[in-house]
Structure 1
């Protein structure tokens, strides 16, 4: 069967840059899925994506489905023939539907009976017959939230479509998608090759586009940009802070990247660098330059989509565009400095946090009080945390943050320094937003950690307290992110704080505002429920997490220590045997009525194996008890692992349910003591 390489391309108007990569991957995956469902064999698959095209290149694609025999079972022989052996109406009707007579049917026999059988040879369909529908279905599956129409067509897509190409080797496959018939015409670069070209063979696609000033491969285009930016930065004696998201967006904006640099007035450097960077990146997609100390330089690098004979004109144009934006930031900064940060609190009284929970000013007062309590629990200076908590949200009322919301916290820090609040307070104002996203850094100061915890707790407790629990994907107050932030700060710092105590402190701060009587329990449960996804992201096995959480611990730092220790224990040679033994012990004890027997009487230990287990358990407990008290769970579990042989010998040679009631209860007490020794750390019986 012939195999050729296939090219599918959709030529469009400029696609949304932030969605381009996802669209490309989704299109490629959907096409491949369609080919697999059609049972068309193929080799490697390569997606292409530029601002003006989505394409998929598939190697060694079969020209036709393989022929196959389809078996259709009919009625059983008992039903197909009457007592005289003549075909019944059921058999004749089935045979007619298959285009045969009853006597032409074959028989299918098994130990369950015998049935009529029809075998039909089905000839495979060709790629030309199958492909148009596969592509049409793939386009329907793309994640397009707001499709649009264009011209007088009824077709809908994320952007207007101009060309459509299905090329199998050098053969053009007929088909229509989004109102456009398949043709060989391929769009070139909008400015350098506006006439486009006719593609003669699928294998020529990438090379022909390059000749038309288009780098079709997204990854190649991105690497070319990254390398050129790094080289230009080095020439300018500066560096570019890594920003994968910006690099990806810029890659999605250009087909023929040309890297240039420009400058702006040094006067703007009197403004904190953060708003300047925000406006350069977010508004203009520029790459700001910093020196080796992280200080902003009055230069930036940008990527253009045209190779100009007079690059100075492009540079001058970008400098003209950026100057008023930087001037705005300078104006906001100078205006904001005329008012102390503390004076902004009265403005926050008019900014709503949540209708039932009050204003942002109310929230600041709660954060301040709660941060002070948390700092005291951390045995650090509460006055710094209290002050930073009060001012934590004050910069929301400034002109700078109103214009550049991304700078909240960092501008509060700068304004606090300007006001002479002290570095500890200023840093805590910035740090209280940390961590902002998965993998982000944590607060480094005690006050910063206290205010960060207070802010997250206030939001969690407040929203749960009015019954607005997150459901499904809806989480408008980002409570899941807040919960993981809590866990990370307490566990990774680490801090000797109990989650239940913190939640109760936060609950007390709301007074009579909250209507949910179960707020504390629900918030504790919600935060602990985030342990599973958080630890799974770190590669921790689910059964390890379940084993630790089974006893409902509420100190995140302690939970973390237990998880690390149990995860290490799980890899020991003895772990499987000990987990099985714990399950057996748990099952035995679960069947007992009333209180479990507690005391082991050495005089009632009869069998050598139970005596040895009791002696070794006592010796191990002398190590385990102080180790658990010190939080050294790895040492405790390694000590308990030494019991494996004794436990195995006990179960191999000792009957727990002895006829003698006293001996039976004594053995149950021994097992209970063994179980409790492990439960000090985790429920090992849950390990798989």
Structure 2
């Protein structure tokens, strides 16, 4: 067995391309080796801005032997009456490549058929890889690829060399105008000459000696340690930024950390602006003092080891000074405007062709926010704050600062609101209404911010569905899945027991009249979409799929209620009586459904004790009546564990009932009476979960 090493060296590859390309490299190589019947061991990837590398351990010297059985024509077609091969049989033997004498007859469920066992040829691994690798390399996916010279091949950036080794053997093939070999190159400035790699095991050390840290994890750790130390030496601490650390790791081959400074006068610009300007434009780390205030210091990571690092530091300081000067200018110019004037300018900003301008959206959100304030029973002050925040929530979109730094939308809205003397609650809600900005991100902390975020997401969701802009597959241009998950998380986090159907009706009212054709169809589409997101979210949190399905099937109308029922049902599954009880309750549900009496809104038919033919019927009725009041009271206050515990006492009476009587009796009156009795049991369960959805046994 040998170690396989493939390095594709190219011009500077964008940082965001590297990890996805390496993941695809590994996946595609695994698929290719398996398809070629080449056994192999563990894989590992390395990457820098100028190289994508894959190492595969334990690659077999030859293909794995394999024998295949081919099925031919039926025996009666393959042989004539004298037992000689017919033309059909001879053609099959020729196609299979085996002598006629080695053909066999196999008995199958369809009859007897001619068969041939064919041994696949076994070839050395090297030549096979030489045929596989050119196409595999060119198939690596990138957001954007390019051509170079007069070649027809494409890659992220022009390929400069390919290193291909199987042990000490050089794999020779050509990609575009580059022929593979056993050489690579080091750092483009410090060691640009060719480096011969005699064996894959020498690769990492050889590049380290040539000023390249090819191991991404080691390079990241090196940067993190150096940046952290630099922050301490500057008198503060680096503000953690894992995403920036990942980006910088993919921008350098041999990191050199530089500490620079900027003029303290720039500290009058909001902290978020300074951090964003350093991070987004320059990829610098910001440093804060012990009290959290920003220091006029930055940490840069250079890819250029130099004898005089002060020259690089001075150059970085000069570039940052220009960036911060622009930000300072934007900030002071923006403060000259009134936010109300910005709101008017939103009339000229398109939200979506069928949904109007951003101003139109603000009007709808403001209306929704007022309705939510009433539902949440906000006091007068919070109601005023919510209305004001709804009016101003998108105003900063036309500010110079947000035009330059789009990630600061909402943040600058808060800053400018405070500068204008708005109530702090208004300013906070303006920023919070965008939350969560990503999966798992921070949720609104204030009541007003939660309701405004809810109104904004509800408007987007209902608007897009009313316009037919429904996510399909991987296409979700308006991030409706993320918006919906955010809506669900806010309802849960803020303990808002609003009815989803009522919210959707209110949201859709901004786009179509309730009696308009198609209103109910769109309403059901939106509710179904929300229920699907809620299901995925609960399952992703570790809840059992069948339990989630059972609860959602009962009702998904109030999110905190759904979560509470899922948790109660999972706890109930540990009850000693649960296995037998769940089977019995599932049987109850199935009988009710098949009888056509399903439906939680329809009251159970009256049960006549005069039609009882067995004592177990009366005992079951008494048991039901003894717990009904308690169960209903428990459900009303959301105490689902106690409700399920009370329902659990029905297990034995239900089992005894099923043992003693035939529910579907011949007498229609007796049958209807027994179904009505079971409907009483089902009605106790309906508000909690549909037990027919549970996996039992």
> TM-score range with shorter-chain normalisation?
over 0.9
Q: Does 2:4 align with 1:18? A: no
* Structure 1: stretches of 5+ with no match in the other structure: none
**Of 51-60 and 582-591, the range deviating more from structure 2:** 582-591
Q: Does 2:481 align with 1:503? A: no
Shift of 1:99: 4.6
2:583 pairs with one of 563, 568, 580: 580
What is the match of residue 125 of structure 2?
Answer: 127
2:184 pairs with one of 176, 183, 186: 186
**Of 370-379 and 598-607, the range deviating more from structure 2:** 598-607
Q: Say whether the 8 Å CA contact 1:372–1:450 is kept in structure 2.
A: no
Which whole-Å deviations, capped at 9, do the CAs of 1:531-550 have from their partners, x for residues lacking one? 12222221223322221222
Matched residues in 2 for 1:153 and 1:119: separation?
A: 45
Shift of 1:561: 2.0
Which whole-Å deviations, capped at 9, do the CAs of 1:517-570 have from their partners, x for residues lacking one? 344444333323321222222122332222122234422222222232223334
What is the match of residue 481 of structure 2?
Answer: 480
Equivalences for residues 172-571 of structure 1 within 5 A: 172-380=170-378, 381-510=382-511, 517-518=519-520, 519-571=522-574
Shift of 1:424: 0.9
Matched residues in 1 for 2:438 and 2:493: separation?
A: 15
Matched residues in 2 for 1:614 and 1:237: separation?
A: 77
Matched residues in 2 for 1:120 and 1:370: separation?
A: 71
**Secondary structure of 1:163's aligned partner:** strand
**Secondary structure of 1:39's aligned partner:** coil
Q: Does 2:658 align with 1:651? A: yes
What is the match of residue 647 of structure 2?
Answer: 640
Shift of 1:130: 1.0
Matched residues in 2 for 1:222 and 1:230: separation?
A: 12
Equivalences for residues 584-663 of structure 1 within 5 A: 584-592=587-595, 598-602=605-609, 604-663=611-670
Seen in structure 2, the aligned counterparts of structure 1 residues 252 and 574 have a Cα distance that, compared at 3 Å, is farther
Equivalences for residues 135-150 of structure 1 within 5 A: 135-150=133-148
**Secondary structure of 2:296's aligned partner:** strand
Q: Say whether the 8 Å CA contact 2:104–2:116 is kept in structure 1.
A: yes
Seen in structure 2, the aligned counterparts of structure 1 residues 76 and 503 have a Cα distance that, compared at 3 Å, is closer
Matched residues in 1 for 2:534 and 2:208: separation?
A: 49
Matched residues in 2 for 1:603 and 1:171: separation?
A: 92
Which whole-Å deviations, capped at 9, do the CAs of 1:139-181 have from their partners, x for residues lacking one? 2432224321222333221111111122111111222234322
Matched residues in 2 for 1:659 and 1:71: separation?
A: 58
Shift of 1:510: 4.9
Matched residues in 2 for 1:133 and 1:647: separation?
A: 69
CA RMSD of aligned residues (A): 2.4
* Structure 2: stretches of 5+ with no match in the other structure: none
Shift of 1:419: 1.1
Seen in structure 2, the aligned counterparts of structure 1 residues 611 and 168 have a Cα distance that, compared at 3 Å, is same
Which whole-Å deviations, capped at 9, do the CAs of 1:299-344 have from their partners, x for residues lacking one? 1111111222211111111111101101111111111111222222
Shift of 1:382: 1.4
Matched residues in 1 for 2:566 and 2:482: separation?
A: 21
**Secondary structure of 2:664's aligned partner:** coil
Matched residues in 1 for 2:44 and 2:594: separation?
A: 60
Seen in structure 2, the aligned counterparts of structure 1 residues 82 and 358 have a Cα distance that, compared at 3 Å, is closer
**Secondary structure of 2:44's aligned partner:** strand
What is the match of residue 51 of structure 1?
Answer: 49
Q: TM-score, normalised by structure 2?
A: 0.93
Q: TM-score, normalised by structure 1?
A: 0.94
Seen in structure 2, the aligned counterparts of structure 1 residues 647 and 232 have a Cα distance that, compared at 3 Å, is farther
Which whole-Å deviations, capped at 9, do the CAs of 1:592-636 have from their partners, x for residues lacking one? 367886233445445444444333333332331111000122221
